[in-house]
Amino acid sequence: PNTVAVYDYGRTPDGRFYYAMEYLSGLSLDALVTRFGPQPAGRVAQILTQAAGALAEAHALGLIHRDVKPANIFFCERGGVPDMVKLLDFGLVKHLGSASGPSLTQADALTGTPLYISPEALSDPSQIDHRADIYALGGVGYFLLTGKPPFEGKSVLEICGHHLHTTPELPSERLGQAVPTELEALVMACLAKKPGERPADADAVLERLR
């Protein structure tokens, strides 16, 4: 229920591709934080739980999103239930069984949003797996808690360098107030530089959130 629904797709008589999605009324997480500032920890946990559920479904099908970010997570009301999360924009999705190697194009070499891109997507993009989405989800959690992405810089190169080499400041320190220990530890674990040091998968993230 937290993955955006696509009802139909095809081509128009003049050859243009189209698809029809469910209509959503609300705002992105990016807009939410821009308008209302850092979010309460309980709400952050609920948002991450729903987003992790959408990722768990995608990963079970062998798909990695590769562009998880606040602008691609929508906050809306569905069936009278507020704070419903929808994961959008699977335009960069990659099947884990797809071939890649020396023929990787320059356009594919840096895929995703630099503010939330995983270290391995920078160092060896042909080898990323579902744990790149876990890293990005940690970045989203960090943004929701603090109102800022894990790293900022004056250029894409500087931001990418931070993803590769810099440990993020704790959300509680960045925010200047306490954050629940378990939630902060989970966000920081998701942002580990080495994929093997992150939660193993989205289901592991869900278990810790619960």
**Would you tell me how many other CB atoms lie within 10 Å of the CB of residue 78?**
16
| 27 vs 21: CA distance, rounded Å | 16
What SS3 class is residue 36? helix
Residue 30 catalytic? no
Would you state the torsion angle of the CA atoms of residues 88, 22, 83, 176, taken in this order, to the nearest 10 degrees?
Answer: 20
C-alpha neighbours within 13 Å on the C-beta side of residue 35: 7
DSSP 4-23: PPEEEEEE-TTS-EEEEE--
What phi and psi values does residue 165 have, to the nearest 5 degrees?
A: -130, -15
C-alpha neighbours within 13 Å on the C-beta side of residue 105: 3
User: Which position among 30, 67, 129, 133 bears the catalytic label?
Assistant: 67
Residues in the chain, how many?
A: 210
Question: Which amino acids are annotated catalytic?
Answer: 67
